Amino acid sequence: MTQKRRLRKYREYLEAQSLSPLTVEMYYREAFCLETYLKGGKPKKKQVQQFISEIRQDHKISTVNGYIVAINRYLKWMNMNEYCVKTKRVQGNWNLENVISIEEYNRLIKYAKENKKDKYYLIIRILGKTGIRIGELRYITVEALEQQSMMIYGKGKYRSIYLTDDLISEMREYCKMNNIQSGCIFLGNKNTPISRSAVWQMLQKIANGAGVPRRKVHPHSFRHLFAKTYMEHHGNISELADILGHSGLEITRIYLTTTREEKLRRINELPL
């Protein structure tokens, strides 16, 4: 099979999976880069390791690990599991430094509400109160409001999303005001489910207006805020992993860590 045909078939395989368009592009891009590096030849483990060390040496470990996962997926697709490379271990380096605080979250929703950005007011509220990913906004439908929860599929597994009474009430009012009678509630300009990039761009504008650092206002920041707040109030890591759809507790354990500011505050409170 030629390199071009192999890459084409790999893209077809990725598109047939339950992956977001951005994830498909990332996986395909890394496969293309690897193929280009190998010049169409059959990969060997040493070459894959060399590719990662040469091409990705200037990136953060977490970013490199993302590339390794993408490359490993391509190798597995080619039935070359033995050539897969282990991700780099990050020893005690988990942190939540660029996550918005409750106070900043409230400033964002207050600004959005006062400036009549109703769609984004609700999106911020939903992200903060459910912990869903941006790509999962498409599951928030008029029909789902009657059930108060919905089953969604992502990352290769099913999980339930729960909607609080106040969210349901506000979304019903929003649907009534915008004549949304069925299907996905949050749509983009092309009448399709709103995209991650559109949400990110508007969040940045709202952050500017609300006086919240833009680096902290990204779609995943609200998922982190939800998880961290849940742990502070309930402390049930297994339940949180289930809500977030994590396959194991290791990923969820990040929410047991504290930020630099929290560590400093606690140290300052010591009677020493």
Q: Residue 4 in contact with residue 10, Cβ under 8 Å?
A: no
Q: Which pTM does this prediction carry?
A: 0.61
Q: Residue 232 in contact with residue 211, Cβ under 8 Å?
A: no
The Cα–Cα gap between 14 and 3 comes to 16
What pLDDT is recorded for position 251?
61
What pLDDT is recorded for position 91?
45
Phi, psi of 79 (to 5 degrees): 60, 40
DSSP symbol at 245: T
Residue matched to tokens 């999303």: 161
And the tokens for 183?
């299907």
* Series of mean pLDDT values for 10-residue runs along the chain (272 residues): 87 85 87 83 76 64 78 90 75 60 94 94 93 86 86 72 90 94 89 86 93 87 85 76 69 62 67 63
What pLDDT is recorded for position 186?
92
* Kind of pairing between the strands at 157-162 and 149-154: antiparallel
Q: Backbone dihedral region of 2: left (phi > 0), alpha (psi from -120 to 50 degrees) or beta?
A: beta
Closest Cα to residue 111, out of 224, 193, 189, 204? 204
Q: Is 58 helix (H, G, I), strand (E, B) or coil?
A: coil
The Cα–Cα gap between 169 and 186 comes to 16
Closest Cα to residue 154, out of 177, 134, 171? 134
The Cα–Cα gap between 35 and 38 comes to 5
What pLDDT is recorded for position 184?
92
The Cα–Cα gap between 245 and 155 comes to 8
Q: Is 153 helix (H, G, I), strand (E, B) or coil?
A: strand
The Cα–Cα gap between 138 and 161 comes to 12
pLDDT, tens digit, 9 for 90 and up, residues 21-78: 888 888 998 888 888 888 767 777 778 777 777 765 555 666 777 888 888 899 899 8
**DSSP H stretches of helix in the chain:** 3-15, 21-38, 45-55, 61-77, 102-114, 118-130, 144-147, 165-177, 196-210, 219-233, 237-244, 249-252, 260-268
